[in-house]
Amino acid sequence: MAREGPGATRNFAVNRQASHLYHLLEKFEAGIELAGTEVKSIREGKANLRDSYAAVKGDEVWLLHCHISPYTSGSYLNHDPLRERRLLLGRQEIAKLAGRTAERGLTLVPTRLYSKKNLIKCELALARGKKIYDRRETMRRRTVDREAAQDIREHRNRHR
What is the structure's pLDDT at 143?
A: 92
For residue 6, pLDDT over 80 is answered with: no
My answer on whether 119 and 145 are in the same domain is no
Q: Which residue has the higher pLDDT, 48 or 72?
A: 48
Residues 99, 150, single domain; the answer is: no
37: domain range? 10-129
Query: Which helix (H) or strand (E) is 11 found in, with range?
Result: strand 10-14
pTM of the model as a whole: 0.74
Query: Tens of pLDDT along 122-143?
Result: 999 998 888 888 788 888 988 9
Provide CB contacts within 8 A for 130, sequence distance 6+: 20, 21, 22, 23, 138
4 located within any domain: no
Query: Residue 70: is its pLDDT beyond 60?
Result: yes
Q: What is the pLDDT of residue 1?
A: 47
Residues 140 and 66 in one domain: no
- 1 in a structural domain: no
Long-range contacts, 8-12 (Cβ 8 Å, 24+): 8/115, 9/114, 9/115, 9/116, 10/114, 10/115, 11/112, 11/113, 11/114, 12/42, 12/43, 12/45, 12/47, 12/112, 12/113, 12/114, 12/115, 12/120
Q: Are residues 84 and 113 in the same domain?
A: yes
Helix (H, G, I), strand (E, B) or coil at 142: helix
SS3 labels along 63-127: EECCEECCCCCCCCCCCCCCCCEEEECCHHHHHHHHHHHCCCCEEEEEEEEEEECCEEEEEEEEE
Q: Give me the mean pLDDT over the 38-53 stretch.
A: 86
Q: How far apart are CA 62 and CA 52, in angstroms?
A: 11
Q: Do 65 and 49 fall into the same domain? A: yes
Domain count, the chain: 2
The verdict on residue 17 lying in a domain is: yes
In a domain, 120, yes or no: yes
For residues 26 and 41, state if they share a domain: yes
Q: Residue 110 has what pLDDT?
A: 92
* Beta bridge mates, 27: 125
Question: Is 160 found in the same domain as 93?
Answer: no
Asked if the structure places residue 121 within a domain, the reply is: yes
Instruction: Specify the CATH number for the domain of residue 50.
Output: 2.40.280.10
Q: Are residues 50 and 20 in the same domain?
A: yes
Query: Average pLDDT, stretch 111-129?
Result: 88
In a domain, 5, yes or no: no
Query: If pLDDT is split at 50, 70 and 90, which confidence band does 4 have?
Result: low
Mean of pLDDT over the chain: 84
* 140 and 104 in a common domain: no
pLDDT at residue 2 above 60? no
pLDDT top residue among 78 and 30: 30
| Co-location of 34 and 111 in the same domain | yes
Q: What is the DSSP string of 28-52?
A: EEEEE---HHHHHHHHTT-EE-TT-
Quick one: 48 and 94 in the same domain? Answer: yes
Same domain, 63 and 88: yes
